[in-house]
Amino acid sequence: MLHTSLYFLALLCLSSSPNWAKLNHMPVEVLGFWRLFIAALLVGLWMVVKHSAPRPKFSKNMIWIVVSGAFFFLHLWTYKYASKNTSVSNTMILFSSNPIWASLGAVAFFKEHINKRIIFAYVLALFGVYLLVAHDLKVSNQVNYGDWSAVASAVFYACYMLTGKKARHYYDNTYYSLIQYSVCALLFWFCILGTGANMTGYDDISWIAVAGLVLLPTFMGHLSFTYLVHHMNLTVMSCGKQLEPVLAAIMAYFIFGEHISEYAWISFTLTFISVLILFYPALKSSAQKIKSRADLLLSSKE
């Protein structure tokens, strides 16, 4: 139950990412650099405080962390490119294909099982996301690189999760996160060098948004996910992520007053039901444990 609760808390924190990004006025590469650089710095300081000094564990398996960091960078970059070159609706729908790629990888590399319950939950959640954004969805016969970028972002996200799961077989979460964030920050820095964007000189709200992105989506979101990927089924985690755009839309409605379609509440309901179906075994097990403890407590009083 602890892992399930942490998973939903991480989803809620990840859902805040688009709203923090909307408040920020930095170029994408500058925002990405400061977000990941500060996160890596804080993880490094935590390791110093906790272990006196970081102890590198250099081995051939470290390549999995480096590759995971590179895929994380590619996921973030292609997602931002998609959001600027196609509609938000197209981006959300096409990115929602990430559980397919993650599931295929989990079956191929980790021998995870995909059952009918997971497939049904994913289809239900995907339909819920579709209803949420259908009013703005655009289909064209012309090649749209933004659409392709959204699909690429979904694939890169799946690869990031798969390589992260592999890396977590060999390294603890703090060390993995330190290297992964550092690699991602370094790649964003190379982008800054290429574009010549300014590193500083932005307004206060932009720096507040950076702090929000570090604390909530990065630490409470991604850091929790990389911890949980070692304890939970990757396919279930990927499918449950379909709740994220729904939560993000709700936040945007209350924070920015953004429009939500008339089918929004149907979308929310379908997505919520899909998550309940997805986590039914874990919820059932927790309910049985609570009932057993209650019965034991009552019997002891008798």
Could you write out the DSSP letters of every residue in 133-156? HGGG----SS--HHHHHHHHHHHH
Question: Cα dist. 1→211, 230, 252, 282 in Å?
Answer: 30, 15, 29, 7
What is the predicted pLDDT for the residue at 188?
Answer: 97
- Overall domain count for the chain: 1
In order along its 302 residues, the chain shows pLDDT tens digits of 688 889 989 999 988 888 888 888 999 899 999 999 999 999 999 988 876 445 556 678 899 999 999 999 999 999 888 877 877 667 777 888 888 898 889 888 888 888 888 888 888 888 888 877 776 666 665 557 888 898 899 999 999 999 999 999 888 899 899 999 999 999 999 999 999 999 999 999 999 999 999 999 999 999 999 999 888 888 888 888 888 877 887 887 788 777 776 777 787 888 888 888 888 877 677 667 666 776 666 666 55
Q: Are 21 and 213 in contact (CB under 8 A)?
A: yes
Query: Which tokens belong to 128?
Result: 């819920």
What is the predicted pLDDT for the residue at 56?
Answer: 54
CA distance 94 to 149: 9
DSSP state of 62: G
DSSP state of 242: T
CA distance 252 to 21: 11
C-alpha 170 chain-centroid distance: 22
What is the predicted pLDDT for the residue at 49?
Answer: 85
Whole-structure pTM value: 0.82
Start-to-end CA span in the chain (Å): 29
What is the predicted pLDDT for the residue at 150?
Answer: 86
What is the predicted pLDDT for the residue at 247?
Answer: 81
Question: Could you list the residue range(s) of the whole structural domain that residue 226 is in?
Answer: 2-301
What is the predicted pLDDT for the residue at 10?
Answer: 92
Question: Cα dist. 209→134, 178, 259 in Å?
Answer: 29, 21, 22
What is the predicted pLDDT for the residue at 5?
Answer: 87
Q: Which residues of 242-281 are buried (b: 16+ CB within 10 A; e: fewer)?
A: bbbbbbbbbbbeeeeeeebbebbeebbebbeebbebbbee
